[in-house]
Amino acid sequence: MKKILFAGFALLFFTTVVNAQLFNPFKVDISAGAAIPAGTGSKAGVLFALEPKFSPISKLAVGLRLEAAITGRGYVSSSSQQGSSSVVASGNVAASASYLATCDYYLPGIIFRPFVGAGTGIYSLASESFSVNGQNTSVSQTAGTKFGGMTRVGFELRHFRLALEYNFIGKTTITASDGYGNTLVTTGKNSYAGIKIGFFLGGGRK
């Protein structure tokens, strides 16, 4: 029995060493695409990302995603004035950045490699100002940071990469007064989807 266990561990060790010799564990993803923010009144924009990665085994890659997304966030405002209804506002276009620790798992494949992944980290939200439709007021949101997460699916074809991502970020709530003395409670969604295409340097078979 001990000989069988020893042989099994030896085979596992040998397989790991061979895989490490066949694959380059370091690579850098470079991508760009569309950023589609959630919420009514939002405006789609663009994103750019850089993601250095390390693969301890060929099916797993851990990395650090650095991304900038340029979008216009949407807001929904409601007045404290009795009988008033919610109104929609759209903020000016602004950039936000994110810094996420990521992990991708690759399904079986050599040239065509589907993957699923996730990440978590810090989202740095830019300051933004907007005018509320139908109200005599302008509201500003100061810059800030929020903790969030990301999930994604996609595939790699040789050194080409395509990914669909969704970034989960908490809402922002702002309270302000309009020109008539009414209090406006404004809620904005910060989450956004990303459609990314790009390529990677390094990685793959040696």
Is residue 46 a contact partner of residue 32, using CB atoms and an 8 Å limit? yes
Question: What is the arithmetic mean of pLDDT over 36-58?
Answer: 91
Is residue 70 a contact partner of residue 36, using CB atoms and an 8 Å limit? no
Sign of CA dihedral 9, 15, 21, 25: negative
Which of 74, 120, 73 has its CA nearest to residue 96? Answer: 73
At residue 189, the pLDDT reads 83
Q: Burial letters for 154-168: b for 16+ Cβ neighbours within 10 Å, e otherwise? A: bebeeeebebebebb
Is residue 189 a contact partner of residue 39, using CB atoms and an 8 Å limit? yes
Is residue 161 a contact partner of residue 27, using CB atoms and an 8 Å limit? no
pLDDT at residue 16 above 70? no
- How does pLDDT run across 128-138, given as a tens digit for each residue? 666 655 554 55
Amino acid at 110: I
Is residue 39 a contact partner of residue 90, using CB atoms and an 8 Å limit? no
pLDDT at residue 160 above 90? yes
Sheet of strand 74-79: strand arrangement: 87-90, 74-79, 183-188, 172-177
Q: Which domains are present in the chain?
A: 24-202 (2.40.160.20)
Q: Please report how many Cα atoms fall inside a 13 Å half-sphere around the Cα of residue 122, on the Cβ side.
A: 5
Ranges 18-22, 86-90, 189-193, most confident: 189-193
At residue 22, the pLDDT reads 60
Q: How far, CA to CA in Å, does 45 sit from each of 34, 93, 134? A: 6, 8, 25
pLDDT at residue 12 above 50? no
Cα torsion 88, 147, 149, 65 to 10°: value is 110
At residue 174, the pLDDT reads 72
